[in-house]
Amino acid sequence: MPDVTLLTLQAMKQKGEKIAMLTAYDATFARAACQAGVEVLLVGDSLGMVLQGHDSTLPVTAADMAYHTAAVKRGNLGALIVSDLSFMSYATLEQTFATCGMLMQAGAHMVKLEGAGWLAEPIRLLAERGVPVCAHLGLTPQLVNVFGGFRVQGRGEAQARQLRADAMALEQAGAAMLLLECVPSELAAEIAQSVKIPVIGIGAGAATDGQVLVLHDMLGLSLSGRVPKFVRNFMDGQGSIQGALGAFVSAVRDGSFPAAEHGFSA
């Protein structure tokens, strides 16, 4: 049992305390992020891009995710570990159960699924079987080929209405957390207010209940040389990686990250 549980995160939301979450893919960085004070470690399938050098997350396998989850577990010091279900590893219910079994047995405390309203059924069945789910909405990178690129989602009234409805439906189905990626700041604020579960943002403005960044991005490391608008390089002004991780946690807690310039308009 981690020190940080879903109850901890719920209580933080209720008290208006911001949740700090970072990706981690190995034991050493998991330990460093915990020492900096993050509540949640995300074993993200972004590892396909930042560790494996692919141009999307699609080549990542469930076995990759289990391997990195087990490594993160060995470095963890009490954070809640969330692991991504990789592309096509939850296309059917049978696959979903098998993949979640692998990840939870490797050390995850929660899994993250990308999608929209269709996730309601798997989320309900997983929650009943002891697998808490974080639903990832907005720019869901596994749908990059459907979206035609990594593009902001939820712009315009029709898309915004759909996103609000998806968030409500997935909370009702039993999602224990929401992650909103690259959605207009105002819309994210509205969703965070209208659901009871914690909402973590990345490129979703300052009003969500917490923030997540990809570790390599916030350390100023980029294979492609392209830095997303929502990223701040926390190595700036810091003499060490540990200092940068601590600066991220402090900035999330005191609300100075993200600034308005890191968000998107409707």
Q: Which residues define the annotated binding site for Mg(2+)? A: 45, 84, 114
Cβ 174 vs Cβ 196: under 8 Å: no
Complex with ligand KIV: residue 14 or 132, whichever CB lies closer: 132
Determine, following the binding rule CB under 6 A, whether residue 208 of this chain makes contact with ligand KIV: no
* Residue 202 found at the interface with ligand KIV (CB under 6 A): yes
Active site residue 181: yes
179/247 with CB nearer ligand KIV:
179
Based on the shown chain and the rule CB under 6 A, indicate whether residue 214 belongs to the binding site for ligand KIV.
yes
Residue ranges for the binding site?
45-46, 84, 112, 114
Q: Which is nearer to ligand KIV, 21 or 244 (CB)?
A: 21
14 vs 182 by CB, closer to ligand KIV: 182
Q: Which of 24, 33, 39, 44 binds ligand KIV (CB under 6 A)?
A: 44
Looking at the Cβ atoms of 63 and 161, the one nearer to ligand KIV is: 63
Q: Determine, following the binding rule CB under 6 A, whether residue 184 of this chain makes contact with ligand KIV.
A: no
How far apart are CB 112 and ligand KIV at their closest, in Å? 7
Q: Which one of the listed residues 181, 186, 190, 261 is annotated catalytic?
A: 181
* Residues binding ligand KIV: number (CB under 6 A): 12
Partners of 20 in beta bridges: 211
166 binds ligand KIV (CB under 6 A): no
Is 64 one of the binding residues for ligand KIV (CB under 6 A)? no
Q: Is the dihedral of CA 98, 101, 106, 112 positive or negative?
A: positive
Which residue minimizes CB distance to ligand KIV? 44
Q: Is the distance from CB of 226 to CB of 56 less than 8 angstroms? A: no
Stretch that binds ligand KIV, among 33-41, 43-51, 70-78, 185-193 (CB under 6 A): 43-51
- 3-state SS, the chain, equals CCCCCHHHHHHHHHHCCCEEEEECCCHHHHHHHHHHCCCEEEECCCHHHHCCCCCCCCCCCHHHHHHHHHHHHHHCCCCEEEEECCCCCCCCHHHHHHHHHHHHHHCCCEEEEECCHHHHHHHHHHHHCCCCEEEEEECCHHHHHHHCCCCCCCCCHHHHHHHHHHHHHHHHHCCCEEEEECCCHHHHHHHHHHCCCCEEEECCCCCCCEEEECHHHHCCCCCCCCCCCCCCCCCCCCCCHHHHHHHHHHHHHHCCCCCHHHCCCC
Q: Does 33 bind ligand KIV (CB under 6 A)?
A: no
Residue 198 in the binding site for ligand KIV (CB under 6 A): no
Using the rule CB under 6 A, is 23 a contact of ligand KIV? yes
Two tokens, residue 70: 């087990």
Footprint on this chain of ligand KIV (rule: CB under 6 A) = 23, 42, 44-46, 84, 136, 179, 181, 202, 212, 214
Catalytic residue annotation: 181
